[in-house]
Amino acid sequence: MRRRAFLNVFPALGVLFTGSSAASRQAAPYRGKGLFLTTWRFGLEANEVAWNSLQGGGGLLDAIELGIRHCELDPRERSVGLGGRPDRDGVVTLDACIMDHLGNAGSVCGLENIATPISVARAVMEKTPHVMLVGAGARQFALEQGFVAEDLLVEDSRREWQEWLKDADYKPVANIENHDTIGMIGIDAEGRLGGGCSTSGMAFKMHGRVGDSPIIGAGLYVDGAVGACTATGHGEEVIRTVGAFRVVQGMSQGLSPQAACQAAVEAVAEFFRRRGRDWSETQIGFIALNRRGQTGAYALRPGFNYAIRDADRALLLDAKRLLD
Ligand code: SD4
């Protein structure tokens, strides 16, 4: 009997014959009350907001949007939303995206004057036939949706930019000035997965530069049957290696979230080696979650931390890394 015909007749046996990935998808469904995993220290507060929303009866994507929004609206966070560092022309441009377990997704790139790009990304997902809006079109759409335009450049960021203009030398520094995208992935009590990501991008980038964070598959990816991943760090390297998708693909092939994150960081390192480029100031970090609620995180070098929140834990953890 040909394989497909055999499985049509004996579908329950399919799991035995379709290899480890399909088998692990069938195994041990998630039984917790929910879990959130978020990049960097501000993930602690963002997770708390998301957790309270989920436990209060909100949907998973509502929780993720609210958690990220909390960070976007905090002017002290200088790499996300209001207060984000500007590009080299002194303009704050924001990137964000959101994705659910069904593959619904929305994204905005280079959005100006709107403090909550994650909510605009969600509106793109829910109210347009598109996935991604950029620049002036994204801003126009946001205004049409009732978002309010405001000046996002806070005094501290303006001062830093003016200081930077003296040399105007664009030089990313690992973990220090600009590696602080908020990426949040989560799972709810029904085992649904989702994620979101928001950033002002690399400080003093060229006007018009888009990083990995709003790109579905690079800065964020969710496959409801497998898992979710989000990335932080030097976006060009994450785009080059299709980072978040690579991690989810690794999980679909049977890797644990931890091993899948490690494999993606190793791919980044390998791409650097091939290109013979200096990567001493590059940081990349991935966090991942599978549909059983198992988590993982891995970075290129020390300094990347992430927050986890579930019914038992609210912790900030240091990610394992490739280099010391
Ligand atoms: C970017 N990935 O625009 C973002 C920056 C970042 O933590 O993650 N910072 O390239």
Dump pLDDT digits (tens) for 208-230.
999 999 999 999 999 999 999 99
Instruction: Give distance in angstroms: CA of 253 to centre of ligand 1.
Output: 27
pTM of the model: 0.91
For ligand 1, whether the C-beta of 200 sits within 6 Å is no
Say how far apart CA 149 and CA 20 lie, in whole Å: 50
**What local confidence, expressed as pLDDT, does residue 173 receive?**
63
Atom of ligand 1 nearest to the CA of 235: 10
Classify residue 2: in a domain, yes or no.
no
What's the pLDDT at 102?
A: 98
Domain that holds residue 283: 21-304
- Which pLDDT does position 28 carry in this prediction? 78
Q: Determine the pLDDT at residue 20.
A: 44
Residue 296 lies in a domain: yes
Q: Is the pLDDT of residue 13 over 70?
A: no
Is the residue at 283 inside a domain? yes
Q: Report yes or no on 321 lying in a domain.
A: no
- Give me the number of domains the chain comprises: 1
Give residue 27's pLDDT: 61
Residue 282 catalytic? no
pLDDT at residue number 18? 40
* Lowest-pLDDT choice from 57-66, 198-207, 254-263: 198-207
Report pLDDT for 61.
Answer: 98
Q: Is 136 inside any structural domain? A: yes
Helix pair 43-55, 60-72: axis angle to 10 deg: 150
- Answer yes or no: is the C-beta of 239 below 6 A from any ligand 1 atom: no
* CATH code for the domain in which residue 233 is found: 3.60.20.30
Regarding the beta carbon of 232 and ligand 1, being less than 6 Å apart is answered: yes
Give the pLDDT of residue 1: 38
Residue 293 has pLDDT above 90, yes or no: yes
Per annotation, catalytic residue among 39, 181, 199, 282:
181
- The rounded Å distance from CA 287 to ligand 1 centre is 14
What's the 256 CA to ligand 1 centre distance in angstroms? 25
